[in-house]
Amino acid sequence: MLYKSVLMRWAFAAVILFLGGACSGTEESSSPPVDFDIQESSAPDFSFPNTLHDGPISSDEFETWFGQTIQGMSSYARISQLFVMPFTLDCNQIKTMIPGGITFYGNHVTTYSEVRERALSIQKCARDQGVALPLFIATNHEGGRIYYFDDTVVTHFPSAKKQCDMGAAYVHQVSKAQALELGYLGLNFIYGPVADVLFVSSNVIGDRAFSSDPARTAECVEQAVEGYHLGGVITSLKHFPGHGGTASDTHLGLAQDNVTLADLQAKYLPPFWRGLDLARPSEMVMISHVIFKQIDSEWPASLSSVILGLLKERSAKPFDGVAISDDMSMKAISNYWGASTASLLALMAGMDLLIYQSQLDLQASIDLLVQAVENGWSATVKDANNQAHTLSFTQDQIRERLYDALKRILRAKYLGGLSNYDFLTELENRSPPDWQAHAAIANQGQ
């Protein structure tokens, strides 16, 4: 085998390069989860100030909280923190699945008052059922055509392209206003901003991208991240390492981009690096399902230790935040890999947090990881070129990767004010944002 992994932090992840391509059945856990011990790795720096947390955070402060928090969690609860499930009205599902977060999709969003009520009820459910940590509650809310609300209260801002055309300062205004509105609704996490540079005509990205110029995109990404943070929400730069060079839609199947590594570094990645080099960088980066044929021809970015290595092992500034997947239920993944197998492959490639739109797929994925933690894992799978490879991960290798992912996720929650449920009182009593002022900002870009 030719190992191409650049993730030296996890040498065992190199074999992942040969995963992919053929459908695999979902696995079900035949025994209840068993607690496991996981060894501590090197601690990242948590010393930068954060507007979502009350004051600067020291490494010692976080380490103490982290150790105390995971000590009281079962292995199942630790593993389930790696997953984001679709919105549910059923409190029992929160209690039993214990997900790391919830996503509001378009079919879950109606009026702002209903969203606020539902978001509060989710966190109260988690608190009352003894779930150790509050949930990420996220949605897509970019402006333009990515807008889910059917009433006129939540402000419908212009598309990212129109925002950036108006100027970076305008992007900052819009992002802060969006964050203030989402925060009032009880959402603490936005899937954005889009850091893709638009290189080809595409309905997938199109005016969701700020610009076709890398430098201009980077400038607007910076202002968006800072605006969102001032408004109090966690951010996720997307879709790493860039979805602007292909017109194919990963919702529908595999997408490929033939960009060279040199051009990727020079043209695609600058907006992502800008969003990660700020005084308070984006907490997360969302990884696409695009195959970059010149860089890793075997499988999509979300399952590629090579692509994830460009992020996590970046020489200028290694990424110590959360690598979050695009929706793992998209056909670029689901048509070629079973849900649970894809989750394990993504995790071992360096992914930390996995989004699923199907609760059945999510449960199957959690069950497989519970089994893998207990017993290790091996299987024969096919890559995107339909070549079969036999893979094996030991119990210790899986636990080491789980520990790293869990620490990154809990760090994001800690920095995002989700270390406990104290925020609920303030949220319930929070005054509505200035809807009228925000409408005026939106009108400037029409």
Tell me how far apart the 2 most distant CA atoms of the chain are, in Å. 61
Q: Name residues whose C-beta falls within 8 Å of residue 440's C-beta, 6 or more positions apart in sequence.
A: none
For residue 381, the surrounding DSSP H or E stretch is: strand 377-382
User: What's the confidence (pLDDT) of residue 397?
Assistant: 94
Active-site option among 207, 326, 327, 367: 326
* Domain edges within the chain: 8-34+47-174+186-444
Distances (CA, A) of 97 to 124, 312, 360, 426: 16, 29, 11, 27
Q: What is the pTM of this model?
A: 0.87
Q: Active-site residue 326, yes or no?
A: yes
Q: What is the pLDDT of residue 171?
A: 98
Q: What is the CATH number of domain 8-34+47-174+186-444?
A: 3.20.20.300
pLDDT of residue 19: 29
> Smallest Cα–Cα separation from 94: which of 133, 72, 122?
122
DSSP state of 41: -
Would you give the distance in Å from CA 236 to the centre of its chain? 6
**Cα–Cα distance for residue pair 19/392, rounded to 1 Å:** 11
Task: Tell me what pLDDT residue 248 has.
Answer: 63
Alpha carbons 409 and 123: distance in angstroms, whole number = 17
Mean pLDDT for each 10-residue chunk of the chain (446 residues)? 34 32 33 43 32 56 92 92 92 92 89 93 96 96 92 92 97 98 97 96 89 98 98 97 80 81 97 97 96 93 95 92 92 80 94 93 92 92 86 93 96 95 96 96 89
**Distance in angstroms (rounded) separating the CA atoms of residues 213 and 288:** 20
The pLDDT of residue 151: 79
d(CA 12, CA 310): 17
The torsion angle over the Cα atoms of residues 272, 338, 9 and 288, rounded to 10 degrees, is -10
d(CA 91, CA 127): 11
**What is the distance between the alpha carbons of residues 187 and 123, in angstroms, rounded to a whole number?**
10
Give me the pLDDT at residue 37, please: 53
Quote the crossing angle between the two packed helices 339-349 and 395-415, to the nearest 10°: 80
Contact 244, 292 (CB under 8 A): no
Catalytic residue among 251, 263, 320, 434: 251
Show the tokens assigned to 47. 């010393």
Q: Are 87 and 121 in contact (CB under 8 A)?
A: no
Report pLDDT for 45: 33
